[in-house]
Amino acid sequence: MIKKTILSGIQPSGNLCIGNYLGAIKQWEQMQDDYESIFLVVDMHSITTKQLPADLRSRCLSFVAQYIACGIDPNKSNIIIQSHIPQHAELMWVLSCFTYQGELSRMTQYKSKSKNLKNINAGLFTYPILMAADILLYQADLVPVGSDQKQHLELCRDIALRFNNKFSETFKIPEPFIPKNGARIMSLQNPTDKMSKSDVNLNSIISLLDEPNIVRKKINRSVTDSGSKVVYNQKDKPGLSNLINIYKSLSNESADYIENRYKGKMYSDFKSDLSDLIIDTLSPIKLEYDYLIKNKDYLLKILKDGTDYGYKKSQNTISKVYRKIGFVPRVR
């Protein structure tokens, strides 16, 4: 039986956090046996904002090690650094010629990210085309998406259909994959905003590499709400409900079970137990990460395997695209 291909990726910026783990990486780990899995470190996307070169290189390897420490098995999945496959940029250029300016200007992420910038670079504007190239290059069947990326996937589908209609069937039309147990984790300091690994206020996130004492401090300082009862109500108690969502996702317990467990208890009791739960989850990840990050040769071997796989798969696509649009075949 041929497995469907699932593809996802994360920008190597900021600090991978428990929001990334519960909303994405934990789901990836559970998909590995059922899909041909491709997980990218999308470093080309990250340079739409200012990066220090040495830090970017370091974070790319760190993210690869964290993927593996979180359960992404290189024997089951393909881990690829985006810039290692030149066909990403090649396909992006072709797709940009089949994408309309009006479509890009309607992207809500572009509007929000460019709102406070004095100098808006073209990469920020054309970012969704590179994302489309990432997906279509590997003929992905499924793409896990959150609400913030759904519009980009819709554009990717439109571009693929436009190209297919003009030149005959070339790209698979990707479908969104919504994990059954996916969690949207919010900021610990502003629970109306999604937890972001790039948040400048590190008290807003739980990093996957935070030490236990740091986890406790961040949870203790996290925003809750007025009152003292541990009650799940996202409208009236968004801060507390966010913490309950983290607890639910890590324990697989229901909100009702959690409410009953802490009936008559204080917020401090709940926060203490939540801290223990987070630490129990992250400690083995941190231990494995500390081992992996010291084994650079192993990480580079994983990346070489991913590059070899990605190059072959993406070259099949780009060759087909170049032939259909009329480019002269490369002499080998």
- Mean of the pLDDT values across residues 275-302? 97
**Using an 8 Å Cβ cutoff, are 240 and 267 in contact?**
yes
pLDDT confidence of residue 93: 98
Strand pairing class (175-177; 77-81): unpaired
Could you give the CA distance from residue 120 to residue 107 in angstroms, rounded to a whole number? 14
- 113, 53: one domain: yes
**Is the pLDDT confidence value at 29 over 70?**
yes
% of the chain at pLDDT higher than 70:
98
Residue 120 is assigned to a structural domain of this protein: yes
Helices 267-293 and 212-221 pack at an angle, to 10 degrees, of: 140
Q: Could you list the active site residues? A: 113, 194, 197
**Is the pLDDT confidence value at 138 over 80?**
yes
**Is the pLDDT confidence value at 145 over 90?**
no
- 13, 125: one domain: yes
pLDDT confidence of residue 294: 97
**Is the pLDDT confidence value at 224 over 80?**
yes
Residue 256 is assigned to a structural domain of this protein: yes
pLDDT confidence of residue 179: 72
**Tally of domains within the chain:** 2
- 89, 230: one domain: no
Residue 208 is assigned to a structural domain of this protein: yes
Please give the span between the terminal C-alpha atoms of the chain, in angstroms, as a whole number.
Answer: 34
Residue 191 is assigned to a structural domain of this protein: no
**Is the pLDDT confidence value at 30 over 70?**
yes
Residue 279 is assigned to a structural domain of this protein: yes
Domain of 237, CATH number, reads: 1.10.240.10
- 284, 302: one domain: no
| Cα torsion angle, 65, 70, 75, 78, sign | negative
Please tell me whether the overall predicted TM-score, pTM, comes out greater than 0.85 for this model.
yes
- 81, 209: one domain: no
Residue 332 is assigned to a structural domain of this protein: no
Confidence of residue 182 (pLDDT cuts 50, 70, 90): low
- 20, 115: one domain: yes
Instruction: Give strand ranges (E) for the chain.
Output: 5-10, 36-41, 77-81, 142-144, 175-177
- 53, 159: one domain: yes
- 303, 167: one domain: yes
pLDDT confidence of residue 112: 73
Confidence of residue 147 (pLDDT cuts 50, 70, 90): low
- Mean of the pLDDT values across residues 10-31? 94
Q: Which residues pair with 36 in a beta bridge?
A: 5
Could you give the CA distance from residue 120 to residue 31 in angstroms, rounded to a whole number? 37
Residue pLDDT, tens place only, 94-123: 999 999 999 998 888 777 777 766 778 899
pLDDT confidence of residue 181: 65
Confidence of residue 245 (pLDDT cuts 50, 70, 90): very high
- Mean of the pLDDT values across residues 82-87? 98
Residue 272 is assigned to a structural domain of this protein: yes
pLDDT confidence of residue 184: 86
Residue pLDDT, tens place only, 40-74: 999 999 999 889 999 999 999 999 999 999 999 99
Residue pLDDT, tens place only, 183-209: 789 999 999 999 999 999 999 999 999
pLDDT confidence of residue 305: 98
Cβ atoms within 10 Å, residue 330: 7
**Is the pLDDT confidence value at 249 over 80?**
yes
- 233, 250: one domain: yes
What mean pLDDT value characterizes the chain? 93
Residue of 50 and 247 predicted with greater confidence: 247
pLDDT confidence of residue 216: 97
% of the chain at pLDDT higher than 90:
82
- Mean of the pLDDT values across residues 175-185? 79
- 247, 285: one domain: yes
Residue 97 is assigned to a structural domain of this protein: yes
Domain of 283 in residue numbering reads as 202-291
